[in-house]
Structure 1
Amino acid sequence: MIAEETLVNLLKQSDTQAKAFETLVDTYKERLYWHIRRIVLNHDDADDVLQNTFIKVYRNIDGFKGDSKLYSWMYRIATNESLSFLKSKSRKLGVNNEELQERMVDNLQADVYFEGDEIQLKLQKAISILPEKQKLVFNMRYYEELKYEEIAEILQLTVGGLKASYHLAIKKLEEFLKED
């Protein structure tokens, strides 16, 4: 695997940019897809957001200063693209965020790409009612197994705040699953 710093340098040079971008996509597409998918829940929507994410990365690579890791920067773009997509979708449908989340979870059963069982559906329903920040932190910590320091870099929040958000999310999920 190519070193991140080398990849960034190759991405910023016109003669090596195309091949370097291909390497970037191959390296990160699966991780970013699942990160996005946990936010937007639908496979087709996740594909669209992933494509938009890579377009933004490609267009803005010259603005990447290296203050964070490349994948943290891309995760931040993917997160922002996902949240913007959801806001746009809720506006188009004329519903608030809670109603949109409910519809998305209900549609999971019909999604041929969703391989979860009844327990996974209950967990997704529980996750969908969490506030946005808690949902992001829970997904990144639980599913993606990212360290708090990595999540802090991606979301540009403090580690202490993230730990509190994760703890609150766990408590709310436990309560929801007990009631259900």
Structure 2
Amino acid sequence: MDKEHLFIQRLTNPSTKEVAYKELLTLYKERLYWHIRHIVKSHDDTDDVLQNTFIKVYKNLENFKGDSKLFSWMYRIATNESLTHLNKNAKRLKFSSEELQQNIITNLKADVYFESDDIQFKLQQAIATLPEKQQLVFNMRYFQDIKYKDMSDILETSEGALKASYHIATKKIEAFLTQD
């Protein structure tokens, strides 16, 4: 049995669950934070979504079938929680998803946790113009260097479609960044 299956057994065994879950938090908290942060942009919202993600992971460990890697399953939960959070905000503010993205980017400059120069801000503006799926693919590949195979498990999309989405996204971002 490989390390991951042994770890999953520890996560689902009542006598070792708490200690194993703390290890899980240590292993994935920062990676998931940045994955979520690239989607929702705001530090405070990221913290909320991250907390919700780990609560869902904890409550649903018994239902994890092992069809994918634990990492992929957790990223799928984090992605869904992030998108749900954005959709709730859009409805609450009566914004379209495009208007919400532009609002988020506008507020990014005021976020004390967002440290960047003008180039990074312009890149975030460019990413915000992409459709949701292209944003996800670009962020996961560019910022987190997630392999297409893992991304395929997380987003439940073929590797070919993901490569095409990334290629199109980079072309759109390049065009945005080079326009006057």
Determine if the TM-score, normalized by the shorter chain, exceeds 0.5.
Answer: yes
| Distance (whole Å) between structure 2 residues aligned to residue 154 and residue 88 of structure 1 | 22
Distance 2:91 2:6 in 1: 41
Count the aligned residue pairs: 179
Q: Alignment RMSD, CA only? A: 1.1
Q: Return 5+ residue gaps in structure 1 as ranges.
A: none
Distance 2:142 2:57 in 1: 26
Q: Distance in 2 between matches of 1:89 and 1:5?
A: 37
Q: Does 1:60 align with 2:60?
A: yes
Contact 1:57 1:74 in 2 (8 A): yes
Match of 1:74?
74
User: Per-residue deviation at 1:163?
Assistant: 0.6
* 2:47 corresponds to: 47
Give the share of equivalent positions with the same residue, in percent: 58
Letter in 2 for 1:115: E
SS of the aligned residue for 1:146 comes to coil
Quick one: distance in 2 between partners of 1:150 and 1:14? 29
User: Contact 1:36–1:79 at 8 Å: present in 2 too?
Assistant: yes
Q: Which residue of 2 aligns with 1:89?
A: 89
Question: Normalising by structure 1, what TM-score?
Answer: 0.97
Whole-Å Cα distance in 2 between the matches of residues 126 and 158 of structure 1?
25
Instruction: Decide which moves more: 11-20 or 67-76.
Output: 11-20
Residue of structure 1 in register with 2:132 after alignment: 132
- Checking the alignment, whether the CA contact within 8 Å between 1:7 and 1:24 is kept in structure 2 is no
User: Which residue is 2:150 aligned to?
Assistant: 150
Displacement over 3 Å in runs of 4+: none
What is the CA–CA distance in structure 2 between the aligned matches of 1:113 and 1:18, rounded to whole Å?
31
Any idea what SS the aligned residue of 1:175 has? helix
Structure 1 counterpart of 2:77, one-letter code: I
